[in-house]
Amino acid sequence: MDALVMCGGRGTRLRKADSSAGSDATPLNGAGDTDGTPPNGASDANATPPDVEKPLVEICGRSMLARVVDALTASSLDGTIHAVVSPQAPATAERVADLPASVVETPGEGYVSDLRSALTSVGRPALTVPADLPLLAPEHVDDALTRAGATSGRADAGAEDVEVTSLTVCVPAVLKQRLGASVDTTFELAGRTIAPTGLNVVVGDDDTVALTYDARLAVNVNRPGDVSLAEALCE
């Protein structure tokens, strides 16, 4: 199974003031953007410089893109790692040359559109993860593969009958709020509000939800406060 690292965005939200910090409201069904309180009062002081593309933002001295690729490389994934780039992030595309990953180019028309384009290029099943999940660890990848029924990655000769199912890894929205992580897209499941992490196994249209309470998967770096939170958890 191949992996797609979504890294085609510039990250304009990282350069905006964290004006909603301190709110504990959770947007339902992805309506609106609400941030929790960043640790240590962090705000737009942590905003990314305008010339740094989002995947290249450093967490504990290493770019988020490199950290995600490191986790995938150290996992049991048996396939090629592809960095999904776009014209929106030319410096990111150049940086991929320094990593054990190939490049898949997309038009840069948005996350979902670019993901569909990339899946057309590499096929399914595929593991997908955004570059803004810098605390991803090899065990997170291995657990997702196991839950999806793809413990050894890409099917080898004689193993074509292995059934792999789509999987969406989520965290409780309240975990994000308690950590002070930004909360964007959420949905309801069994009476609980949960948030997708971006770590998925994509096969078909029907997803199985895997719920985790691991704080490392609750931090998608979308806003200035998320940078300092990721740094704190990284250390």
Q: Give which of 137, 129, 143, 119 is closest to 210, Cα–Cα.
A: 143
Is 0.75 surpassed by the pTM of this model? yes
CATH for 2-234? Answer: 3.90.550.10
- What does 178-232 look like in DSSP terms, one character per residue? HHT-EE---EEETTEEEEEEEEEEESSSPEEEEE---GGGG----SHHHHHHHHH
Is 69:79 a contact under the CB 8 Å cutoff? no
78: tokens are 């048996």
What string of pLDDT tens digits covers the 235 residues of the chain?
A: 999 999 987 777 776 544 333 333 333 233 333 333 444 444 445 555 667 899 999 999 999 999 999 999 999 999 999 999 999 999 999 999 999 999 999 999 989 999 999 999 999 999 999 999 999 999 999 999 999 998 744 444 444 556 899 999 999 999 999 999 999 999 999 999 999 999 999 998 888 999 999 999 999 999 999 999 999 999 7
